[in-house]
Amino acid sequence: MTVPEPFGARLRRVMDERGPLCVGIDPHASLLAEWGLDDDVAGLERFSRTVVEAVADRVAVMKPQSAFFERFGSRGVAVLERTVQEARAAGTLVVMDAKRGDIGSTMAGYAEAYLHKDAPLFSDALTVSPYLGYGSLGPAVALARESGAGLFVLALTSNPEGPEVQHAVRADGRSVGATMLAHLAAENAGEAPLGSFGAVVGATVGDLAAYDLDINGPLLAPGVGAQGATAADLPKVFGAAVRNVVPNVSRGVLRHGPGVGALRSATERFAEEIRAAVAGS
Ligand SMILES: O=C(O)c1cc(=O)[nH]c(=O)n1[C@@H]1O[C@H](COP(=O)(O)O)[C@@H](O)[C@H]1O
């Protein structure tokens, strides 16, 4: 049996080739309306296809947001399946943003759904929530290793409510967010060129000097664009770890649709700003 190439190695290569930008596929009802589409499955499909056509051959990563597909039930999930497959076929890596997290035995079911190589929704990586305890993610870690897939574990999220949990200080004096980063560093130990177990660290979170971001894994950084962070913030927030940052932009690009050309131009602008900010750091 051939061992699949790990996600971290595939990600490093495509980031080096295409730059690190991740474009989100977030078919909000408001965006469907702005694009002149109906808020139904046909509108969802047109929206997703257009975003894939516009950028999947040029960005390192795309991140479909599962909630906006699940909203339409099984037919929406069928669109999600096709979106993942078409995006991957165009050479981008797909991070399924479903933020799954459950007790270990149920987590195994979620892992099968997204990380088993024969699953209809198989994705290169999955966002997961560790707030039932990092160890509850064990089945997803194990299956990701087997399938050459990756995980992005919510560590320091971009939303203002996150610190209530993530900045809480444990009995050993370490914050919950820092503990998640330490778990990931252990997961990625010895991997080269990059481990497959990433952290989600919002670009909006401000000063991270107190955190050890050197996890030898990717850092998914949502918050650029609509949530107010800019490319120039990335080196300030992430310091030396900026080399491993995958900045996500969803609405900042998507609001330029429905024209493929305008979506591409917006993507290129963000990509160029990010390239310049990272190179100058
Ligand atoms: O895991 C995520 O992707 C995520 C984590 C986080 O801390 N903050 C965050 O905004 N996200 C996701 O990133 C995307 C951000 O979208 P925009 O604000 O439109 O660029 C959404 O799909 C969010 O669900």
Say which CATH topology domain 7-276 has: TIM Barrel (3.20.20)
Name the helix (H) or strand (E) containing 93.
Answer: strand 93-100
**pTM greater than 0.90:** yes
Inter-residue long-range contacts of 256-265, CB under 8 Å, 24+ positions, other chains counted? 257/31, 257/34, 257/35, 257/47, 257/50, 257/51, 257/54, 258/35, 258/36, 258/37, 258/46, 258/47, 258/50, 260/50, 260/53, 260/54, 263/50, 263/51, 263/54, 263/55, 264/54, 264/55, 264/58
Pocket-testing residue among 21, 26, 31, 164, ligand 1, by greatest number of atoms within 8 A of Cβ: 26
Residue extents of the structural domains in the chain: 7-276
Question: 139 C-alpha to center of ligand 1: Å?
Answer: 24
**How confident is the model at residue 1, as a pLDDT?**
62
Indicate which residues carry an active-site annotation: 99
ipTM, two decimals, is 0.99
Residue closest to 163 by CA, chosen among 202, 136, 124: 202
Taking residues 143-159, report their average pLDDT: 98
Q: What is the pLDDT of residues 171-225, one digit of tens each?
A: 999 999 999 999 999 999 999 999 999 999 999 998 898 899 999 999 999 999 9
Q: What residue's CA is closest to ligand 1, atom 5?
A: 157
Dist. CA 22–CA 11, nearest whole Å: 11
Peptide bond into 4 cis (omega under 30): no
Q: Is the pLDDT of residue 259 over 70?
A: yes
Q: What residue's CA is closest to ligand 1, atom 24?
A: 65
Taking residues 57-61, report their average pLDDT: 98
Taking residues 2-31, report their average pLDDT: 96
pLDDT band at 280 (very low <50, low <70, confident <90, very high): confident
Q: Which atom of ligand 1 is nearest to the CA of 162?
A: 7
Q: What is the pLDDT of residues 44-56, one digit of tens each?
A: 999 999 999 999 9
